[in-house]
Structure 1
Amino acid sequence: MTADQLTAWAVATPWPAAILGTATLGTITLIAWGAVRAIRAIRFPPAAVLVAAAGALVCTTYSADASWRFAEHRLGMSNFSERAVMFAAAELALLACAVMARANKAATATDDKAGTPGVPGILMWIITGVLVIPCYAESGLVGGTVRAVIGPVMAGLLWHLAMGLEIRLVRPEALSTGLPAMIGRELRERLLSHLGMATRNRTAAQITRDRATARAVRLGARRWLGPWGRARLAAALARSGAATDGEQRHALMQQLAGRRSADQLRTVPVVSPWVQQPVPEAYPRTPLGVTGEQLRRMDPIDAILLVHRANPAAGPAELAALCTEYGVPVTEAQTGLALRAGQWGAGPVIDPSAPERPELNAAPESVLDDVPEAPPAKTLVLDLADMPEVHPEVRAPELVLTAARTRTEVHARVPDDPAPEPIEDPLAFIRRRAREEREATSQVPRSTAVPADLLARARVLDAEYRRTHDGRPISIRALKTGLRVGQPRAEQVRDALAERSTS
């Protein structure tokens, strides 16, 4: 159908023509939209890679021209179709090796290595070297050099850049593992080391000072220096800056000491690596650690008394420090309490090394006349009566010497009353008194011990707690948090609130 016929049909049938045009336009729009999305989804290489690939393609075409002429003049391919099929075999092989080398490089790349092109990369450079022959065969030395450099050599270099530049941009710190790259890095490092620039992050001035320091060390280690040597040594010292820089002077002295004492290195005793060294035994446990472990298992009061027996001359503060050193943290007040408790039930301490008690002389007869029912002479009678309470500090009997009234025998008459109860253990007495105080405190109505302002605040908190917790009374934990008091005070406030609510 021609354009005139299509126009006539559209004029004759406008509605079908409009529907067909709309459908065609929609189809073209959808195809264009899909094509745009597909193009945008393609992950193109960086611009540098694209430019390098374009340059490599042009240089490959430049090399193909030499191959076209070489195939006709040197290889005898006079047929046009035969040359058209075969002249660019080397160029196509170069392109194929470049693409495969790039794929191999991307496949073998890791986080710290850029990968290697492998066999395709080596074949690419071999093909590049073969393509140089047609260039010299067709254009001679001068023209062949131009053809070789611009054609196959430049094509090989640009293909190498095109296949490796993208990976370097993604991971700039990655190192290439190819053989030429490894040889190049090794030669570069050796050259920098030979020139004295192997240490990085140094300025030119610092490199000059280090070289001058090394020269001064070399000259200063010589046994004899002539006038020219002394002048060179002075110049090296001035250039090194060791006179004004402490770090440079320290480095100079250390290097000089090492160089002058190099002969002593042969006689330095070393441990043979072929002889197995004995394993040192573990350190034994110290007496301090063993004693501390035993004391930590005991009650603090018993631990204090045990340390006091080992150090009888130590005071409360010193005993507290010793116990803390052993791993039993106690205060000076606890130490004093333990010492007083230990003395309540203790008897008199008599030194066995003291001399024997001297004999007492008899008292005059007139002293015994006033004593009713006195025993025979040379006796002393004491009337003892029990007291309702004996002070703790006098419970322990003390040694009394009747120096004023010398007697050879002492008798005591005790009233016929029931014998007093035995003195209980000091620790049991402390615990019993604490229990009695707690019981006496618990018997007192707690509401009387709560201040009025604290009770008023507690009633406000209780009302708020009942409103938000379905009428339940406030808990002790809520009272502690709201009033900022401890557990005993919170219990007193809770009991006071309970008494008011029942009344």
Structure 2
Amino acid sequence: MITRKLAATLGLLVPAVMALGMSADTSYRFLGTVLRITAPAERGALCGTAEAAVIALALYAWAAGARSAAWLAYGVVLVQAVPAFEISGGMGGAVRTALGPVLLAVLLHLLLGLELRLSGTYRSGLVGDALREVRERLTAYLGIGRRGADSAAIARSRAADRAVVLADRVAGTKTGTRRYARRTAALADAVDRARHGLNPKDSRAAESAIVARVVRRKSAGDLAVIDVRHDWAGAYRDDGQDVPAQDRDEPVPVPAQDRSTADMIRELISEGVTKPPEISRRLLADGVSAEPGYVRRIVRKVNGS
């Protein structure tokens, strides 16, 4: 479905591309006639220099809110009037200038909403929204665009992310090895950096958040075998009436575990159950699901292999 914003954007974008072509044609002819650049490849590579400068300055004015960049763009447009008059004379030069660089600059101005951007008023053009989204994604990926966060907060957030990743790596590393020692030290360092500069209360909260993320990641596999039934009939009945109690699928609560999965695996091993498949079956019988790889890692750790 074509919205009014999309229609307006396309209506401005099509003549902007045509104006770009008119301006580039003027530059191409001027390079050959006046500047004596006759090699087709060289002329083709250089004919869009001024046009590219106008587009770049307009984008910079939009992104940085710099009035100077907007004025420089219009200055380049005035310079492009010289080739237009040189190629087509008085009347033809005025037409080439108006339909080429001037029209391109005006349409870019409207597409990016520079008059609102430079005045501090928010605008929501389609092209502007797309460019803003690209900028936000890029700055977020680089870690420099998080609003309301200083460099210390960004560093703590990165350290927390690294601590969660290192916790998984430490769990899969054989104890007693140099790699295990290095990863454990790196994990401790990441946790310390995630708490750096915080008061005791916030420090405990940051540490608890890391632990919660680690636990959630390790137990994510349980989501596929969770022992709870959802009442779809009650949620999507057309007549709006309640489902009778005898026909309703009541959620079956999952019993809370006072011990961790790793502790339960160690207890089963101490009871003589050493085969990972058997351990997984015993855990399922107790209402606990664990990934086979995780069970094997715990068994190897207990056996020291």
Range class of TM-score, shorter chain: 0.3 to 0.5
Bigger Cα Rg: 1
Asked which structure has the greater RCO (Cα within 8 Å, sep 6+), the reply is 2
TM-score computed with the length of structure 2 as normaliser? 0.45
**Structure ranking higher in helix proportion:** 2
TM-score computed with the length of structure 1 as normaliser? 0.29
